[in-house]
Structure 1
Protein backbone atom coordinates (compact mmCIF):
# COMPACT_ATOMS: atom_id res chain seq x y z
CA UNK A 1 0.00 0.00 0.00
CA UNK A 2 2.96 2.32 0.58
CA UNK A 3 3.88 2.00 -3.09
CA UNK A 4 0.29 2.65 -4.15
CA UNK A 5 -0.03 5.83 -2.08
CA UNK A 6 3.36 7.03 -3.23
CA UNK A 7 2.28 6.66 -6.87
CA UNK A 8 -1.22 8.02 -6.27
CA UNK A 9 0.08 11.14 -4.52
CA UNK A 10 2.19 12.16 -7.49
CA UNK A 11 -0.28 11.07 -10.17
CA UNK A 12 -3.39 12.71 -8.71
CA UNK A 13 -2.35 15.81 -6.78
CA UNK A 14 0.29 17.70 -8.83
CA UNK A 15 -1.63 17.41 -12.16
CA UNK A 16 -4.88 18.45 -10.47
CA UNK A 17 -3.14 21.38 -8.80
CA UNK A 18 -1.57 22.54 -12.07
CA UNK A 19 -4.86 22.33 -13.98
CA UNK A 20 -6.64 24.22 -11.21
CA UNK A 21 -4.02 26.98 -11.26
CA UNK A 22 -4.34 27.28 -15.04
CA UNK A 23 -8.07 27.95 -14.71
CA UNK A 24 -7.50 30.41 -11.86
CA UNK A 25 -4.81 32.28 -13.82
CA UNK A 26 -7.44 34.00 -16.03
CA UNK A 27 -4.95 33.75 -18.91
CA UNK A 28 -6.97 32.72 -22.00
CA UNK A 29 -4.37 30.43 -23.55
CA UNK A 30 -3.70 28.63 -20.26
CA UNK A 31 -7.40 28.21 -19.60
CA UNK A 32 -7.92 26.86 -23.11
CA UNK A 33 -5.12 24.32 -22.69
CA UNK A 34 -6.48 23.25 -19.32
CA UNK A 35 -9.96 22.85 -20.81
CA UNK A 36 -8.63 20.63 -23.61
CA UNK A 37 -6.73 18.51 -21.10
CA UNK A 38 -9.80 18.10 -18.93
CA UNK A 39 -11.93 17.19 -21.95
CA UNK A 40 -9.54 14.67 -23.46
CA UNK A 41 -11.47 12.76 -26.15
CA UNK A 42 -13.38 9.75 -24.88
CA UNK A 43 -15.67 7.47 -26.90
CA UNK A 44 -17.76 6.60 -23.83
CA UNK A 45 -20.77 8.73 -22.92
CA UNK A 46 -23.30 8.17 -20.14
CA UNK A 47 -26.34 10.31 -20.88
CA UNK A 48 -25.12 13.91 -20.68
CA UNK A 49 -21.84 12.85 -19.12
CA UNK A 50 -18.77 12.18 -21.25
CA UNK A 51 -16.07 10.24 -19.47
CA UNK A 52 -12.92 12.34 -19.36
CA UNK A 53 -9.98 13.00 -17.08
CA UNK A 54 -11.96 15.12 -14.63
CA UNK A 55 -14.81 12.63 -14.27
CA UNK A 56 -12.57 9.58 -13.88
CA UNK A 57 -10.21 11.21 -11.39
CA UNK A 58 -13.08 12.61 -9.32
CA UNK A 59 -14.80 9.22 -9.19
CA UNK A 60 -11.63 7.31 -8.31
CA UNK A 61 -10.54 9.78 -5.63
CA UNK A 62 -14.05 9.79 -4.15
CA UNK A 63 -13.94 6.02 -3.73
CA UNK A 64 -10.58 6.28 -1.97
CA UNK A 65 -11.92 9.05 0.26
CA UNK A 66 -14.79 6.88 1.51
CA UNK A 67 -12.53 3.89 2.18
CA UNK A 68 -9.80 5.87 3.94
CA UNK A 69 -12.35 7.71 6.09
CA UNK A 70 -13.67 4.36 7.29
CA UNK A 71 -10.12 3.27 8.06
CA UNK A 72 -9.51 6.44 10.09
CA UNK A 73 -12.56 5.73 12.24
CA UNK A 74 -11.31 2.24 12.95
CA UNK A 75 -7.76 3.37 13.72
CA UNK A 76 -9.01 6.03 16.12
CA UNK A 77 -11.11 3.46 17.97
CA UNK A 78 -8.09 1.18 18.31
CA UNK A 79 -5.83 3.88 19.75
CA UNK A 80 -8.42 4.83 22.37
CA UNK A 81 -8.27 1.38 23.95
CA UNK A 82 -6.23 0.95 27.11
CA UNK A 83 -2.85 -0.59 26.36
CA UNK A 84 -2.94 0.26 22.67
CA UNK A 85 0.22 -0.92 20.95
CA UNK A 86 2.67 1.45 19.32
CA UNK A 87 1.82 0.07 15.90
CA UNK A 88 -1.80 1.19 16.38
CA UNK A 89 -0.64 4.78 16.81
CA UNK A 90 1.59 4.41 13.78
CA UNK A 91 -1.30 3.03 11.73
CA UNK A 92 -3.48 5.97 12.77
CA UNK A 93 -0.89 8.38 11.41
CA UNK A 94 -0.72 6.63 8.05
CA UNK A 95 -4.44 6.16 7.54
CA UNK A 96 -5.12 9.79 8.48
CA UNK A 97 -2.44 10.84 6.01
CA UNK A 98 -4.06 8.74 3.29
CA UNK A 99 -7.46 10.21 4.11
CA UNK A 100 -6.18 13.77 3.78
CA UNK A 101 -4.41 12.91 0.53
CA UNK A 102 -7.68 11.52 -0.85
CA UNK A 103 -9.64 14.56 0.32
CA UNK A 104 -7.13 16.92 -1.27
CA UNK A 105 -7.24 15.01 -4.55
CA UNK A 106 -11.06 15.06 -4.63
CA UNK A 107 -11.10 18.78 -3.88
CA UNK A 108 -8.58 19.60 -6.60
CA UNK A 109 -10.23 17.59 -9.36
CA UNK A 110 -13.79 18.51 -8.42
CA UNK A 111 -12.84 22.20 -8.34
CA UNK A 112 -11.02 21.92 -11.66
CA UNK A 113 -14.02 20.12 -13.17
CA UNK A 114 -16.38 22.87 -12.04
CA UNK A 115 -14.09 25.67 -13.23
CA UNK A 116 -13.81 24.02 -16.63
CA UNK A 117 -17.61 23.99 -16.86
CA UNK A 118 -17.79 27.66 -15.91
CA UNK A 119 -15.09 28.47 -18.46
CA UNK A 120 -17.29 27.09 -21.24
CA UNK A 121 -20.51 28.55 -19.87
CA UNK A 122 -21.21 31.48 -22.20
CA UNK A 123 -23.36 33.41 -21.72
CA UNK A 124 -23.99 33.13 -18.00
CA UNK A 125 -27.05 31.13 -17.15
CA UNK A 126 -29.94 32.34 -14.97
CA UNK A 127 -29.87 31.95 -11.23
CA UNK A 128 -30.36 28.49 -9.80
CA UNK A 129 -33.91 27.19 -9.70
CA UNK A 130 -34.82 23.67 -8.74
CA UNK A 131 -37.33 22.18 -11.17
CA UNK A 132 -37.95 18.53 -10.44
CA UNK A 133 -40.21 17.19 -13.14
CA UNK A 134 -41.22 13.51 -12.82
CA UNK A 135 -38.59 12.45 -15.35
CA UNK A 136 -35.92 14.31 -13.42
CA UNK A 137 -37.03 12.71 -10.17
CA UNK A 138 -36.59 9.31 -11.82
CA UNK A 139 -33.04 10.18 -12.84
CA UNK A 140 -32.25 11.34 -9.33
CA UNK A 141 -33.65 8.05 -8.04
CA UNK A 142 -31.42 6.17 -10.47
CA UNK A 143 -28.43 8.11 -9.17
CA UNK A 144 -29.25 7.25 -5.58
CA UNK A 145 -29.77 3.60 -6.54
CA UNK A 146 -26.37 3.57 -8.27
CA UNK A 147 -24.70 4.91 -5.13
CA UNK A 148 -26.43 2.22 -3.07
CA UNK A 149 -25.23 -0.40 -5.54
CA UNK A 150 -21.69 0.93 -5.13
CA UNK A 151 -21.91 -0.05 -1.46
CA UNK A 152 -21.56 -3.73 -2.42
CA UNK A 153 -18.11 -3.54 -4.05
CA UNK A 154 -17.03 -0.80 -1.64
CA UNK A 155 -17.56 -3.22 1.24
CA UNK A 156 -15.10 -5.63 -0.37
CA UNK A 157 -12.61 -2.86 -1.14
CA UNK A 158 -12.86 -1.49 2.39
CA UNK A 159 -12.21 -4.96 3.81
CA UNK A 160 -9.19 -5.40 1.56
CA UNK A 161 -7.86 -2.01 2.58
CA UNK A 162 -8.15 -2.98 6.25
CA UNK A 163 -6.23 -6.19 5.56
CA UNK A 164 -3.43 -4.31 3.84
CA UNK A 165 -3.27 -1.77 6.66
CA UNK A 166 -3.53 -4.00 9.73
CA UNK A 167 -2.71 -7.59 8.79
CA UNK A 168 -0.11 -7.56 6.02
CA UNK A 169 2.50 -5.51 7.96
CA UNK A 170 2.33 -7.94 10.88
CA UNK A 171 2.52 -10.92 8.53
CA UNK A 172 5.63 -9.57 6.83
CA UNK A 173 7.28 -8.99 10.20
CA UNK A 174 6.56 -12.53 11.43
CA UNK A 175 7.68 -14.14 8.19
CA UNK A 176 10.99 -12.28 8.45
CA UNK A 177 11.62 -13.55 11.98
CA UNK A 178 13.83 -16.64 12.62
CA UNK A 179 10.91 -18.44 14.28
CA UNK A 180 9.09 -18.65 10.95
CA UNK A 181 11.60 -21.25 9.77
CA UNK A 182 12.04 -22.95 13.14
CA UNK A 183 8.30 -23.40 13.68
CA UNK A 184 7.52 -24.88 10.28
CA UNK A 185 4.94 -27.65 10.67
CA UNK A 186 4.22 -26.80 14.32
CA UNK A 187 0.58 -26.58 15.41
CA UNK A 188 -0.76 -24.12 17.96
CA UNK A 189 -1.60 -26.80 20.54
CA UNK A 190 1.94 -28.22 20.62
CA UNK A 191 3.35 -25.45 22.82
CA UNK A 192 7.10 -25.17 23.31
CA UNK A 193 9.22 -22.35 21.97
CA UNK A 194 6.78 -21.79 19.11
CA UNK A 195 3.84 -20.99 21.37
CA UNK A 196 4.57 -17.25 21.28
CA UNK A 197 4.94 -17.35 17.50
CA UNK A 198 1.61 -19.16 17.14
CA UNK A 199 -0.01 -16.65 19.47
CA UNK A 200 1.17 -13.79 17.26
CA UNK A 201 -0.24 -15.58 14.22
CA UNK A 202 -3.54 -16.04 16.02
CA UNK A 203 -3.68 -12.34 16.80
CA UNK A 204 -3.28 -11.63 13.10
CA UNK A 205 -6.07 -14.09 12.29
CA UNK A 206 -8.31 -12.39 14.80
CA UNK A 207 -7.35 -9.04 13.29
CA UNK A 208 -8.44 -10.32 9.90
CA UNK A 209 -11.76 -11.37 11.41
CA UNK A 210 -12.10 -7.94 13.01
CA UNK A 211 -11.46 -6.38 9.59
CA UNK A 212 -14.29 -8.44 8.13
CA UNK A 213 -16.73 -7.33 10.81
CA UNK A 214 -15.60 -3.71 10.63
CA UNK A 215 -16.17 -3.51 6.87
CA UNK A 216 -19.59 -5.10 7.24
CA UNK A 217 -20.62 -2.63 9.93
CA UNK A 218 -19.76 0.22 7.60
CA UNK A 219 -21.65 -1.08 4.56
CA UNK A 220 -25.25 -2.17 5.10
CA UNK A 221 -25.87 -3.66 1.65
CA UNK A 222 -22.37 -5.10 1.60
CA UNK A 223 -23.01 -6.78 4.96
CA UNK A 224 -26.26 -8.33 3.79
CA UNK A 225 -24.74 -9.71 0.59
CA UNK A 226 -21.69 -11.03 2.47
CA UNK A 227 -23.88 -12.77 5.04
CA UNK A 228 -25.90 -14.41 2.28
CA UNK A 229 -22.66 -15.54 0.64
CA UNK A 230 -21.43 -16.99 3.96
CA UNK A 231 -24.71 -18.87 4.40
CA UNK A 232 -24.35 -20.34 0.93
CA UNK A 233 -20.83 -21.56 1.82
CA UNK A 234 -21.88 -22.65 5.33
CA UNK A 235 -19.18 -20.42 6.86
CA UNK A 236 -19.41 -18.61 10.18
CA UNK A 237 -17.36 -15.45 10.63
CA UNK A 238 -16.57 -15.71 14.34
CA UNK A 239 -13.93 -17.00 16.75
CA UNK A 240 -14.92 -20.61 16.06
CA UNK A 241 -13.76 -20.16 12.48
CA UNK A 242 -10.31 -19.13 13.75
CA UNK A 243 -10.22 -22.11 16.13
CA UNK A 244 -10.99 -24.53 13.32
CA UNK A 245 -8.32 -22.94 11.17
CA UNK A 246 -5.59 -23.56 13.75
CA UNK A 247 -6.74 -27.15 14.26
CA UNK A 248 -6.43 -27.91 10.55
CA UNK A 249 -3.23 -26.00 9.72
CA UNK A 250 0.19 -25.39 11.20
CA UNK A 251 0.89 -21.87 12.44
CA UNK A 252 3.23 -21.08 9.54
CA UNK A 253 0.61 -22.20 7.02
CA UNK A 254 -2.03 -20.04 8.70
CA UNK A 255 0.38 -17.11 8.53
CA UNK A 256 0.93 -17.59 4.80
CA UNK A 257 -2.77 -17.22 4.05
CA UNK A 258 -3.73 -14.72 6.74
CA UNK A 259 -4.00 -11.86 4.22
CA UNK A 260 -4.84 -14.02 1.22
CA UNK A 261 -7.36 -12.49 -1.14
CA UNK A 262 -8.74 -12.99 -4.63
CA UNK A 263 -7.09 -10.32 -6.76
CA UNK A 264 -9.52 -10.89 -9.63
CA UNK A 265 -12.50 -10.26 -7.35
CA UNK A 266 -10.83 -7.17 -5.92
CA UNK A 267 -10.18 -5.79 -9.40
CA UNK A 268 -13.77 -6.54 -10.43
CA UNK A 269 -15.10 -4.76 -7.34
CA UNK A 270 -12.91 -1.74 -8.05
CA UNK A 271 -14.25 -1.54 -11.61
CA UNK A 272 -17.84 -2.10 -10.45
CA UNK A 273 -17.56 0.62 -7.80
CA UNK A 274 -16.13 3.02 -10.36
CA UNK A 275 -18.87 2.25 -12.88
CA UNK A 276 -21.58 2.67 -10.24
CA UNK A 277 -20.22 6.06 -9.19
CA UNK A 278 -19.97 7.18 -12.83
CA UNK A 279 -23.55 6.06 -13.49
CA UNK A 280 -24.62 8.07 -10.43
CA UNK A 281 -22.82 11.13 -11.80
CA UNK A 282 -24.52 10.66 -15.17
CA UNK A 283 -27.96 10.21 -13.61
CA UNK A 284 -27.59 13.30 -11.45
CA UNK A 285 -26.47 15.29 -14.49
CA UNK A 286 -29.71 14.25 -16.18
CA UNK A 287 -31.78 14.95 -13.08
CA UNK A 288 -30.34 18.42 -12.59
CA UNK A 289 -29.85 19.06 -16.29
CA UNK A 290 -31.35 22.55 -16.14
CA UNK A 291 -28.94 23.69 -13.48
CA UNK A 292 -25.78 21.65 -13.90
CA UNK A 293 -23.64 22.30 -16.94
CA UNK A 294 -22.43 19.03 -18.38
CA UNK A 295 -19.20 18.38 -20.21
CA UNK A 296 -20.81 17.75 -23.57
CA UNK A 297 -21.00 21.46 -24.38
CA UNK A 298 -19.17 22.42 -27.56
CA UNK A 299 -17.41 25.72 -28.03
Structure 2
Protein backbone atom coordinates (compact mmCIF):
# COMPACT_ATOMS: atom_id res chain seq x y z
CA UNK A 1 0.00 0.00 0.00
CA UNK A 2 1.39 3.41 -0.98
CA UNK A 3 1.49 6.38 1.35
CA UNK A 4 -1.22 8.05 -0.74
CA UNK A 5 -3.46 4.99 -0.47
CA UNK A 6 -3.00 5.06 3.30
CA UNK A 7 -4.19 8.67 3.31
CA UNK A 8 -7.49 7.92 1.59
CA UNK A 9 -10.57 8.87 3.58
CA UNK A 10 -12.33 5.90 5.16
CA UNK A 11 -15.96 5.19 6.00
CA UNK A 12 -15.23 5.79 9.71
CA UNK A 13 -13.94 9.29 8.86
CA UNK A 14 -17.18 10.04 7.05
CA UNK A 15 -19.28 8.69 9.90
CA UNK A 16 -17.31 10.85 12.35
CA UNK A 17 -17.95 13.86 10.11
CA UNK A 18 -21.67 13.06 10.04
CA UNK A 19 -21.80 13.12 13.83
CA UNK A 20 -19.76 16.34 13.92
CA UNK A 21 -21.98 18.28 11.51
CA UNK A 22 -25.33 16.88 12.70
CA UNK A 23 -27.69 19.73 13.43
CA UNK A 24 -25.38 22.25 11.75
CA UNK A 25 -26.27 21.39 8.16
CA UNK A 26 -29.53 20.33 6.56
CA UNK A 27 -30.10 16.60 6.15
CA UNK A 28 -31.52 16.91 2.66
CA UNK A 29 -34.29 14.51 1.53
CA UNK A 30 -34.43 12.25 -1.50
CA UNK A 31 -37.05 13.52 -3.92
CA UNK A 32 -38.72 11.00 -6.26
CA UNK A 33 -39.17 12.16 -9.86
CA UNK A 34 -42.38 10.77 -11.40
CA UNK A 35 -41.41 12.51 -14.65
CA UNK A 36 -38.23 10.40 -15.03
CA UNK A 37 -38.02 6.63 -14.71
CA UNK A 38 -36.39 5.41 -11.46
CA UNK A 39 -34.83 8.77 -10.62
CA UNK A 40 -34.46 10.42 -7.23
CA UNK A 41 -32.82 13.79 -6.56
CA UNK A 42 -30.60 14.66 -3.60
CA UNK A 43 -31.15 18.46 -3.42
CA UNK A 44 -28.07 19.89 -1.73
CA UNK A 45 -29.32 23.19 -3.15
CA UNK A 46 -31.51 23.31 -0.03
CA UNK A 47 -28.54 23.87 2.30
CA UNK A 48 -28.54 27.32 3.99
CA UNK A 49 -25.80 28.56 1.63
CA UNK A 50 -27.36 26.81 -1.35
CA UNK A 51 -24.78 24.05 -1.85
CA UNK A 52 -23.27 20.86 -0.43
CA UNK A 53 -20.05 22.70 0.44
CA UNK A 54 -21.37 23.52 3.91
CA UNK A 55 -20.77 19.91 4.93
CA UNK A 56 -17.04 19.86 4.31
CA UNK A 57 -16.45 23.40 5.53
CA UNK A 58 -18.28 22.75 8.80
CA UNK A 59 -16.38 19.52 9.41
CA UNK A 60 -13.01 21.11 8.67
CA UNK A 61 -13.54 24.15 10.90
CA UNK A 62 -14.75 22.07 13.83
CA UNK A 63 -11.53 20.05 13.68
CA UNK A 64 -9.31 23.12 14.11
CA UNK A 65 -7.71 23.79 17.49
CA UNK A 66 -8.45 27.03 19.33
CA UNK A 67 -5.18 28.70 18.31
CA UNK A 68 -5.83 28.23 14.59
CA UNK A 69 -9.46 29.26 14.98
CA UNK A 70 -8.36 32.52 16.60
CA UNK A 71 -5.80 33.27 13.87
CA UNK A 72 -8.37 32.77 11.12
CA UNK A 73 -8.63 30.79 7.92
CA UNK A 74 -8.33 31.43 4.20
CA UNK A 75 -9.55 29.62 1.13
CA UNK A 76 -9.76 29.98 -2.64
CA UNK A 77 -13.17 29.40 -4.20
CA UNK A 78 -15.35 30.19 -7.18
CA UNK A 79 -18.12 30.84 -4.70
CA UNK A 80 -19.89 27.97 -2.97
CA UNK A 81 -17.02 26.81 -0.78
CA UNK A 82 -16.26 30.42 0.10
CA UNK A 83 -19.86 30.97 1.15
CA UNK A 84 -19.84 27.74 3.16
CA UNK A 85 -16.63 28.62 4.99
CA UNK A 86 -17.88 32.14 5.71
CA UNK A 87 -21.19 30.81 7.03
CA UNK A 88 -19.58 28.16 9.23
CA UNK A 89 -16.83 30.55 10.36
CA UNK A 90 -19.35 33.17 11.44
CA UNK A 91 -21.11 30.59 13.63
CA UNK A 92 -17.81 29.72 15.33
CA UNK A 93 -16.40 33.24 15.50
CA UNK A 94 -13.55 32.36 13.12
CA UNK A 95 -12.29 35.14 10.78
CA UNK A 96 -12.54 33.99 7.15
CA UNK A 97 -10.80 35.33 4.04
CA UNK A 98 -11.88 34.08 0.62
CA UNK A 99 -9.81 34.52 -2.55
CA UNK A 100 -12.25 34.42 -5.47
CA UNK A 101 -11.77 34.55 -9.25
CA UNK A 102 -12.74 37.93 -10.64
CA UNK A 103 -15.07 36.09 -13.04
CA UNK A 104 -17.17 34.68 -10.19
CA UNK A 105 -20.87 35.47 -10.36
CA UNK A 106 -21.79 38.66 -8.45
CA UNK A 107 -24.40 36.66 -6.52
CA UNK A 108 -21.73 34.41 -5.01
CA UNK A 109 -19.33 37.28 -4.30
CA UNK A 110 -21.92 39.31 -2.45
CA UNK A 111 -23.28 36.29 -0.57
CA UNK A 112 -19.77 35.44 0.66
CA UNK A 113 -19.27 39.00 1.87
CA UNK A 114 -22.74 38.91 3.40
CA UNK A 115 -21.70 36.04 5.66
CA UNK A 116 -18.88 38.22 7.01
CA UNK A 117 -15.88 37.05 4.99
CA UNK A 118 -13.18 39.28 3.54
CA UNK A 119 -13.28 38.69 -0.23
CA UNK A 120 -10.22 39.25 -2.42
CA UNK A 121 -10.82 39.11 -6.19
CA UNK A 122 -8.00 37.87 -8.44
CA UNK A 123 -7.61 36.34 -11.91
CA UNK A 124 -8.68 32.68 -12.02
CA UNK A 125 -5.09 31.43 -12.36
CA UNK A 126 -3.95 33.37 -9.26
CA UNK A 127 -6.50 32.14 -6.72
CA UNK A 128 -4.37 29.41 -5.13
CA UNK A 129 -1.17 31.47 -5.30
CA UNK A 130 -2.72 34.43 -3.49
CA UNK A 131 -4.31 32.16 -0.86
CA UNK A 132 -0.90 30.63 -0.10
CA UNK A 133 0.61 34.11 0.14
CA UNK A 134 -1.96 35.02 2.77
CA UNK A 135 -1.09 31.89 4.75
CA UNK A 136 2.54 33.05 4.85
CA UNK A 137 1.84 36.74 5.45
CA UNK A 138 -0.98 36.54 7.99
CA UNK A 139 -0.51 33.15 9.62
CA UNK A 140 -3.90 31.93 8.41
CA UNK A 141 -4.85 28.28 8.06
CA UNK A 142 -5.72 27.19 4.53
CA UNK A 143 -9.01 25.33 4.19
CA UNK A 144 -8.97 24.26 0.52
CA UNK A 145 -12.22 23.68 -1.36
CA UNK A 146 -11.61 19.99 -2.01
CA UNK A 147 -7.97 18.91 -1.55
CA UNK A 148 -8.20 17.93 2.13
CA UNK A 149 -9.32 14.77 3.98
CA UNK A 150 -11.64 16.72 6.32
CA UNK A 151 -13.38 18.33 3.34
CA UNK A 152 -13.75 15.01 1.53
CA UNK A 153 -15.09 13.32 4.67
CA UNK A 154 -17.64 16.07 5.19
CA UNK A 155 -18.87 15.88 1.59
CA UNK A 156 -19.04 12.10 1.91
CA UNK A 157 -21.94 12.45 4.35
CA UNK A 158 -24.10 12.98 1.24
CA UNK A 159 -23.36 9.36 0.34
CA UNK A 160 -24.26 8.13 3.82
CA UNK A 161 -27.64 9.84 3.66
CA UNK A 162 -28.41 8.50 0.19
CA UNK A 163 -27.86 4.93 1.35
CA UNK A 164 -29.80 5.47 4.58
CA UNK A 165 -32.82 6.74 2.64
CA UNK A 166 -32.68 4.37 -0.34
CA UNK A 167 -30.70 1.25 0.52
CA UNK A 168 -31.91 -0.35 -2.72
CA UNK A 169 -30.15 2.31 -4.83
CA UNK A 170 -28.34 0.97 -7.90
CA UNK A 171 -26.63 4.06 -9.29
CA UNK A 172 -25.40 7.30 -7.73
CA UNK A 173 -24.56 10.15 -10.11
CA UNK A 174 -22.36 12.95 -8.77
CA UNK A 175 -20.76 16.05 -10.34
CA UNK A 176 -16.98 16.25 -10.67
CA UNK A 177 -15.09 19.52 -10.39
CA UNK A 178 -12.13 19.43 -8.04
CA UNK A 179 -13.38 16.06 -6.86
CA UNK A 180 -14.13 16.60 -3.17
CA UNK A 181 -17.82 15.72 -3.36
CA UNK A 182 -17.36 12.85 -5.81
CA UNK A 183 -14.46 11.45 -3.75
CA UNK A 184 -16.43 11.52 -0.52
CA UNK A 185 -19.65 10.15 -2.00
CA UNK A 186 -17.85 7.39 -3.89
CA UNK A 187 -15.91 6.40 -0.77
CA UNK A 188 -19.06 6.18 1.36
CA UNK A 189 -21.20 4.38 -1.21
CA UNK A 190 -18.56 1.80 -2.16
CA UNK A 191 -17.80 1.05 1.50
CA UNK A 192 -21.49 0.51 2.24
CA UNK A 193 -22.50 -1.26 -0.99
CA UNK A 194 -19.67 -2.14 -3.41
CA UNK A 195 -22.19 -3.24 -6.07
CA UNK A 196 -23.69 0.25 -6.41
CA UNK A 197 -22.33 2.12 -9.43
CA UNK A 198 -20.97 5.61 -8.76
CA UNK A 199 -20.81 7.71 -11.92
CA UNK A 200 -19.16 11.11 -12.22
CA UNK A 201 -20.38 13.86 -14.56
CA UNK A 202 -18.60 16.92 -15.91
CA UNK A 203 -19.10 19.37 -18.78
CA UNK A 204 -17.77 18.18 -22.13
CA UNK A 205 -15.96 21.49 -22.66
CA UNK A 206 -14.20 21.13 -19.28
CA UNK A 207 -13.59 17.38 -19.14
CA UNK A 208 -10.20 17.48 -17.47
CA UNK A 209 -11.23 14.91 -14.84
CA UNK A 210 -12.09 12.31 -17.48
CA UNK A 211 -8.73 12.90 -19.12
CA UNK A 212 -6.95 12.73 -15.74
CA UNK A 213 -8.61 9.43 -14.85
CA UNK A 214 -7.76 7.96 -18.24
CA UNK A 215 -4.14 9.09 -17.94
CA UNK A 216 -3.73 8.11 -14.30
CA UNK A 217 -2.35 11.58 -13.49
CA UNK A 218 -3.76 15.06 -12.97
CA UNK A 219 -4.20 16.90 -16.26
CA UNK A 220 -4.49 20.69 -16.16
CA UNK A 221 -6.50 22.22 -19.00
CA UNK A 222 -5.95 25.78 -20.24
CA UNK A 223 -7.80 28.41 -18.21
CA UNK A 224 -9.69 29.77 -21.23
CA UNK A 225 -11.02 26.30 -22.00
CA UNK A 226 -12.22 25.71 -18.44
CA UNK A 227 -13.89 29.11 -18.33
CA UNK A 228 -15.93 28.19 -21.41
CA UNK A 229 -18.39 26.12 -19.37
CA UNK A 230 -21.40 27.75 -17.75
CA UNK A 231 -20.91 25.33 -14.83
CA UNK A 232 -18.59 27.63 -12.89
CA UNK A 233 -18.29 25.27 -9.93
CA UNK A 234 -16.75 22.58 -12.15
CA UNK A 235 -13.86 24.61 -13.59
CA UNK A 236 -11.20 23.40 -11.16
CA UNK A 237 -8.79 20.49 -11.77
CA UNK A 238 -8.53 17.37 -9.65
CA UNK A 239 -5.81 17.15 -7.02
CA UNK A 240 -3.54 14.18 -6.42
CA UNK A 241 -5.69 13.30 -3.41
CA UNK A 242 -9.04 13.43 -5.20
CA UNK A 243 -7.62 11.63 -8.23
CA UNK A 244 -6.53 8.81 -5.91
CA UNK A 245 -10.04 8.52 -4.45
CA UNK A 246 -11.77 8.61 -7.82
CA UNK A 247 -9.33 6.12 -9.32
CA UNK A 248 -10.13 3.76 -6.45
CA UNK A 249 -13.88 4.16 -6.26
CA UNK A 250 -15.48 5.87 -9.28
CA UNK A 251 -16.94 3.44 -11.82
CA UNK A 252 -17.06 5.82 -14.79
CA UNK A 253 -17.25 9.47 -15.77
CA UNK A 254 -19.43 10.88 -18.53
CA UNK A 255 -19.81 14.34 -20.02
CA UNK A 256 -22.75 16.59 -20.86
CA UNK A 257 -23.05 19.51 -23.28
CA UNK A 258 -23.69 23.12 -22.38
CA UNK A 259 -27.12 22.98 -24.02
CA UNK A 260 -28.01 19.85 -22.04
CA UNK A 261 -26.96 21.55 -18.80
CA UNK A 262 -29.06 24.66 -19.43
CA UNK A 263 -32.08 22.67 -20.59
CA UNK A 264 -31.86 20.66 -17.38
CA UNK A 265 -31.76 23.81 -15.24
CA UNK A 266 -35.12 24.65 -16.83
CA UNK A 267 -36.43 21.09 -16.33
CA UNK A 268 -35.50 21.03 -12.64
CA UNK A 269 -37.29 24.33 -12.08
CA UNK A 270 -40.39 23.30 -14.00
CA UNK A 271 -40.78 19.67 -12.99
CA UNK A 272 -38.94 19.28 -9.69
CA UNK A 273 -39.58 22.82 -8.41
CA UNK A 274 -35.86 23.11 -7.68
CA UNK A 275 -33.62 26.02 -8.55
CA UNK A 276 -30.31 24.50 -9.61
CA UNK A 277 -27.20 26.27 -10.80
CA UNK A 278 -25.56 24.74 -13.90
CA UNK A 279 -22.96 22.87 -11.82
CA UNK A 280 -25.77 21.30 -9.81
CA UNK A 281 -27.76 20.32 -12.89
CA UNK A 282 -25.09 18.23 -14.66
CA UNK A 283 -26.04 14.98 -12.94
CA UNK A 284 -29.71 15.22 -13.85
CA UNK A 285 -28.63 16.23 -17.36
CA UNK A 286 -26.67 12.97 -17.58
CA UNK A 287 -29.71 10.95 -16.55
CA UNK A 288 -32.10 12.74 -18.90
CA UNK A 289 -29.83 12.92 -21.94
CA UNK A 290 -27.39 10.01 -21.54
CA UNK A 291 -29.41 7.29 -19.84
CA UNK A 292 -27.99 4.69 -22.23
CA UNK A 293 -24.51 5.44 -20.85
CA UNK A 294 -25.60 4.76 -17.26
CA UNK A 295 -26.23 1.42 -15.57
CA UNK A 296 -29.88 0.48 -15.20
CA UNK A 297 -31.83 0.68 -11.97
CA UNK A 298 -32.76 3.05 -9.17
CA UNK A 299 -30.70 6.18 -9.70
CA UNK A 300 -29.92 9.09 -7.38
CA UNK A 301 -28.63 12.32 -8.92
CA UNK A 302 -26.94 14.75 -6.55
CA UNK A 303 -28.10 18.32 -7.24
CA UNK A 304 -25.04 19.92 -5.71
CA UNK A 305 -26.03 23.59 -5.65
CA UNK A 306 -28.73 26.14 -6.35
CA UNK A 307 -26.90 29.47 -6.49
CA UNK A 308 -28.15 30.39 -9.94
CA UNK A 309 -26.87 33.67 -11.36
CA UNK A 310 -29.91 36.01 -11.64
CA UNK A 311 -28.75 37.23 -15.06
CA UNK A 312 -28.63 33.65 -16.35
CA UNK A 313 -31.97 32.88 -14.71
CA UNK A 314 -33.60 35.82 -16.47
CA UNK A 315 -32.44 34.45 -19.83
CA UNK A 316 -33.43 30.85 -19.10
CA UNK A 317 -36.85 31.61 -17.67
CA UNK A 318 -37.85 34.51 -19.91
Does the alignment reach a TM-score above 0.5? Answer: no
Answer with 1 or 2: which has the greater Rg: 1
**Greater helix proportion:** 1
Q: Give the number of the structure with larger relative contact order, counting CA–CA contacts within 8 Å between residues 6 or more apart.
A: 1
- Compare the two structures and name the one with the higher strand fraction: 2
